[in-house]
Each structure stands twice: as structure tokens, then as C-alpha cells.
Amino acid sequence: MVPLFMVIPLAAAFIIALTAKLDERVHDACAVTGGFVIAALSIAVCALLGRSGAPGVMTYRIGSLPPPAGIALVIDGLSSFMLVTVNLVGFLVTLYATGYVKCYTDRWKFYSLFFLMLSGINGVLLASDIFNLYVFMEIAAIAAYFLVAFGTEAEELEASFKYAIMGSVASAFILLGIAFLYGATSTLNMADMARVLAASNPARVIQLVSVLFIMGFGLKAALVPFHAWLAYAHSSAPAPVSAMLSGVLIKVLGIYALSRIFFNVFGMDTAIMQILIVIGVLSMAVGAILAFGQSDIKRLFAYSTVSQIGYVAIGLGVATPLAVFGALFHLFNHSIFKSLLFLNAGAIERLRGTRELGKLSGILADEPVTGYATLVSALSISGIPPLGGFWSKAIIIFACIQAGRPALALIAALISILTLVYYFRSLSPVLFGPKAEMTAGARPTLAMNAAMAALAVLVAASAFALLPAIKEVLLNGAIAVLTNGTANNVPLGAIQ
Amino acid sequence: MTIYLLCLALFSVGLYCVLRKRNIIKIIIGIGIMEYAVNLFFALIGYRAQGRSPIFAPDQAIRNMVDPLPQAVVLTSIVLGLSVTLMLVAVAIRIYERYGTFDITKITRLKG
């Protein structure tokens, strides 16, 4: 069951490429089916692993060699939680894309690249070997560079080029870090590496590699000193791609990979956690301040992503069980509401023919599905109770107070108010303003409306994930993986 | 030790090239230099003095071989580097068609 998470998207990508000559409805059907099957599978796996009394991990051995020499795939609590987030968003974005990419020629290329990216992301989540993690990360990233440039307009090419250059530099730093780690431990398997590092404890190598990884994965996660590419790439890409980049790609390639290595391989180190907190605070503040001056709706959402990722980073940096819970819940919430906001921005752009905030108005009256979806996700991201975004921010703020960091809690609360202000200021004319004359409008198709409505329902219902029964299945395993640190690694002998 | 430092110097040359050059083709070459520096560094980690190539034949004892794992890793990494370079060059050609220049300081239609 484990390798299906890579096999299904890869198969979908290749089937779509092989049937390129056939009718485009075949590609649409193939893409939506693939997305649905994998989303259903991820929920099934999460439910299976989260049952009380379940072992909590699923493993798969590629080939006959046992690890650490052989390659193994492992799904633990954190992976299964991330798989649900990624594939749920992936499915709904695919559904939306069937309507959105109608204007492009060669739609099959879009779907092929999209599923290649999805299989890379899933591969990162399954990898138990640090070099495999790197390879899958590169697969996802290369597909993302192509997808950003998909429209081949001047802006898109420029954004794609800048993103690809920065991404490649980040990858070079990460590979350099992996080389140093291999030199120190003689193994690439992450669980084995954690064991060797705990036994020999080469503090200086760990410090050097930590810096390289914070640069590399920090750039992939768009944390603040490394955030410059994000506004280009996310605002120029086609809407479904922006939604995937902002919703899941930066979280898996950045936050997940960073926390997997720092928590489960190096073990929690107070200095590194302190750096994460500083970077997180910088991201929150700089992202929110930059979002204020934006006149382009997608750039506004892009900078707000930088700001919200800061919350996840401080939650992980504080690293108490409550803070990690808040960080993961915020990550889940942000995945759904930010991908929904980008999908809405795409629909609004199609409808009005512009992304200028000053020229948009009356969306709520004109196109109720898009309008209400934007409203509910904007309310959630600005932290209005009882929506999920309020609870996840509140949990992070309480966790900061509980961990004896009231200043941090105060900053997080202030930035939250700032978020409310800039969302209200920018989006209220767009939603409630007078209904404008229709310009160049293509109304969202049924598939696009269905995808936006489904995501809006998820955003509205995400607070229910706090109910003990759902939290037990979805989040508790992931929290345990991070808070137990290196003790949580699957023993190599247990991999079948 | 010198050889490792030279390798990291090569990495810095690539990084300098990416950060300071204005021609986007030179930036792509800089990315290539960085990737090759890292690949070389990885291969050097697996090297041992006077080691022979890690090819196992039935009549040979496994003795004094260099570590084969970095070589496999570097091979994969070269392929990834190839695909990134290919992608960058393809985009650079399209950029030249749209902007009529390879100068990165003139490719600034996106602001902020």
C-alpha cells in the first residue's frame, strides 16, 4: 500500500502523456480520478494508522536489501498527516484545474507535470533516506519550475527563472549538507544516522550542517531572509499552481523536511530551536508589513503566506507538545485556506480580467460561490472565531505563554491583528463593493465552483479537527513524532 | 585536506558567479559549477588513498575499495543537475525571445 502514493500519481502522469493525442476529456477524467483515488487512499491510511492500538507506522522495503543499505519507505504519524493534507488539497486543485486550464493549449502537459510534482511531494513524505528525500524534493521542485512558466508569458518566464535559480542554489546547499553528514556518519538512512550521531555526537559537524540546512530548506519554505522568490513565483503562476505551491509545496519541501531532520535526526537542540523562533518572528512581521502595500491580489496572498509560515516556524521552535500541535494544526489550516484563496484569485482574475485590487469590486453579488469562498477563507486566515484559523493561532499563542515566552505571544497576537487589518482593508471593497460592469469575463465553470465550494466547506469545518476523536486520528501521531524526537524513529529491523 | 578546501573554493566560485554575473547564461554556468563542486566533494568523501574501483568480481577479495555509495549518489545527482540545467536553458531561450536580452538587470517586469 505504501508505494501507491508515488505509483498512482506517476502512473497518472504517464498515462496522460501517452494519451496526448486523445480527446482532452480523457485527460480531465484521468487527472480527477487519479487525484480522487490518492486522496481517498491517504485518508484511509491516516485512519488506519491513527486507530488506537495500531502500531502507528507502515513500512515498505524496495528491493531485497535490508536497510540501512537498502531503501525503505516509511509512513509514520507525521507523514500520514501530511499525506492527507497534500492529497486532499491536490485532488480539489486538480478538479479546479480541469476548468481553469481550458485556455491553454497542450493541457496534457499541465496535468503530467502536476502529477509529477504530486508524486515528488508524496515521495518526500515517504522517504526514510536523506538522499531519497533530496531526489524527490528535486523532482517536485523541477516540475514546479516548469509549472510556474506554463503560460510562457514574459512575467511567468521571469518568475520561473528566478525561482529556479534560487531553488537550485538552495538544493546545492542541501546536498553539501548531506555530503558533510555522510562524511560524519557513513550512512544515508535517517534513523541509522540519528543512532550514529547520538553515539558519536560530532557537535561541530551538526552545527555546520544545521546552518546549511536552514539556508537550503529555509529558502524552499520561504522563511524571511530567503523569501524573495515567493512573491514572484506565486503571483505569476497559473492559479492552480499557485495554490499547490503556497498550499503544500513550500510546507513539504521546507517545513516538513526541516522538522524531519532537526527533530528526528539531530534531536531537538535549543540553539537551532532559537534560530527557528527568530526566523519565524521575522517571517511573521516582514510578511505582514509587505502585504500591506500590495495592489495585486495574488501578491497580497503570497506575502500573507510568508507571514503565516512564520507562525508554523515559531510553533515548531517553541517545541512543547502544545506548540507543535498548534503549528501542525496551523499548517493544515493554512494549506486549505491559502490554496482556496489562490483558487478564488484565479477565478476573480478570469471574471474581471485584472488582478489590481483597486479595480475589483462586487464579487459577492456577482459570483456568490467565489465570493463566499473568499469571505470564509479570509475570515479564517485573519483569525475570526470560531473558524479553524482562530484556534490554531490561539493555540500557538497560548503555547508561547505556557513555555514562558510572553513577548513572543504578544508579537504573534499583534501580527494576527495586523493580518485582520490588511485582509479587511484589501478584500472588503473587492467583496462588498458596488457591482462593476462586466469586463472580459469568463465565469467559473461547474468544476471550478465545485472545487472552491468543497474547499470552503473544509475551511469552515476545520475547527472540528479539534474534537478529540478526529484529533486522535489526524494529529496525535504527528505530534508524537515531533515531540519524541529521535526516540520515535522506526527501528531498522522492523522494516519489512 | 587541501583538496577538500579547493573543492569548497570551487563551490564559492560558482556561488559568486550566480550572485554577481548579469548574463543569465553565466548564471546558469554558475549553477553548474556549484553542482559539480558538490558532486566532486561527495565523491571525494568516499575516496580512500590507493583505493581501487569498487567492482566486485568472484575471484577478488573486498579489500581496499573506495566507498561505492557516494558514486551512486553522485550519478543520481548529475542526472538531477542535467535536468535543472536543461530547464534553465529552455527558459533562458524563451526569455530572450520575450525580452530581447540576456541581462538579468534588464529582466525586471516583476517588481518588489
CA distances from A64 to A61, A123, A495, B70 (A): 7, 20, 12, 20
At residue A422, the pLDDT reads 92
Domain extent, residue A426, equals 4-489
- Residues A26-46 have pLDDT tens digits of 889 999 999 999 999 999 998
Burial of A458 (0-12, 13-18, 19+ CB in 10 A): buried
pLDDT value at position A431? 87
**Span A344-370, mean pLDDT?**
86
Q: In this prediction, what percent of chain A has a pLDDT beyond 70?
A: 98
CA distance to partner chain B, nearest, from residue A224 (Å): 15
Residue B43: its chain A contacts at CB < 8 A?
none
Residue A494, domain member (yes or no): no
Closest to B32 measured CA to CA, from B78, B90, B93, B94: B78
Q: Is the pLDDT of residue A23 over 80?
A: yes
Task: Note the pLDDT of residue A440.
Answer: 61
**Residue A54: predicted pLDDT:** 66
Domain presence at residue A496 = no
Distance to chain A for B59, nearest Cα, Å: 23
Q: Is residue A419 part of a domain?
A: yes
Total structural domains in chain A?
Answer: 1
Å between B84 CA and nearest CA of chain A: 7
Q: Which of A34-43, A117-126, A192-201, A427-436 has the lowest mean pLDDT?
A: A427-436
In this prediction, residue A474 carries a pLDDT of 84
What CA–CA distance (Å, rounded) separates A395 from A386? 13
Residue B38 near chain A (CB below 8 Å)? yes
Cell 532559537 identifies what position? Answer: A274
pLDDT of A204 higher than 80: yes
Dist. CA B74–CA A116, nearest whole Å? 22
Asked if residue B26 belongs to a domain, the reply is: yes
Q: Which three cell numbers stand for residue B42?
A: 561527495
Question: How many Å lie between the alpha carbon of A169 and the closest alpha carbon of chain B?
Answer: 7
- Average confidence (pLDDT) over A165-176: 95
Please answer whether residues A482 and A316 qualify as being in contact, where contact means their C-beta atoms are separated by less than 8 angstroms. Answer: yes
Domain-located, residue B91: yes
* Helical residues (DSSP H) of A51-106, grouped into ranges: 77-100
Provide mean pLDDT across the span A449-465: 92
pLDDT band at A437 (very low <50, low <70, confident <90, very high): low
Mutate: best of A129, A152, A163, A168, partner B, most B CBs <10 A: A168
Q: Each residue's pLDDT tens digit in chain B (112 positions)?
A: 889 999 999 999 999 999 999 999 999 999 999 999 999 999 999 888 888 888 877 777 777 788 888 999 999 999 999 999 999 999 999 999 999 889 888 888 876 5
Closest Cα in chain A to B83: A142
Per the domain annotation, does A229 fall within a domain? yes
Question: What pLDDT, on a 0 to 100 scale, did the predictor assign at position A475?
Answer: 86
Domain of B89, in residue numbers: 7-48+65-106
Q: Do A175 and B77 touch (CB under 8 A)?
A: yes
Domain CATH code at residue B17: 1.10.287.3510
Has residue A222 been placed in a domain? Answer: yes
Spatial distance between the Cα atoms of A66 and A78, rounded to a whole number of angstroms? 23
What pLDDT does A53 receive? Answer: 65
Q: Is A227 a domain residue? A: yes
Chain A residue closest to B46 (CA)? Answer: A183
- Mean pLDDT (chain A) is 90
Local confidence band at A50 (pLDDT 50, 70, 90 cut-offs): confident
Is there a contact between B31 and A236 if contact means CB atoms under 8 Å apart?
no
In this predicted structure, which of A221-225, A267-271, B31-35 has the lowest mean pLDDT?
A: A267-271
Instruction: Write the CB contacts of A115 (distance below 8 Å, at least 6 apart in sequence).
Output: A9, A10, A12, A13, A16, A31, A34
Nearest CB to B41; choose among A155, A162, A176: A176
- The verdict on A176 touching B (C-beta cutoff 8 Å) is yes
Q: How confident is the model at residue A210 (pLDDT cuts 50, 70, 90)?
A: very high
- Range of lowest pLDDT (A133-137, A262-266, A341-345, B56-60): B56-60
The residues, any chain, with a CB within 8 Å of residue A207's CB and separated by 6 or more, are none
pLDDT at residue A60 above 80?
yes
pLDDT tens-digit series, residues B26-52: 999 999 999 999 999 999 998 888 888
CB contact under 8 A, A158 and B95: yes
pTM of the full structure = 0.94
Q: Is residue B28 a part of any domain in this protein?
A: yes
What spatial distance separates the first Cα and last Cα of chain B, rounded to whole Å?
43
Whether A98 contacts A158, CB under 8 Å: no
Q: Residue A405 half-sphere exposure, CB side, CA atoms within 13 Å?
A: 22
Predicted pLDDT at A30: 92
Confidence of residue A118 (pLDDT cuts 50, 70, 90): very high
pLDDT, residue A364, reads: 84
* DSSP bridge partners of A296: A356
- What's the structural domain count of chain B? 1
Q: How high is the pLDDT of residue A140?
A: 95
Domain assignment present for B54:
no
Q: The C-alpha cell of B74 is what?
A: 553522485
Say yes or no for a CB contact (<8 Å) between A157 and B95: yes
**With 80 as the cut, is the pLDDT of residue A163 above it?**
yes
Q: Is the pLDDT of residue A439 over 70?
A: no
The C-alpha atoms of residue A117 and residue A137 are separated, in whole angstroms, by 9
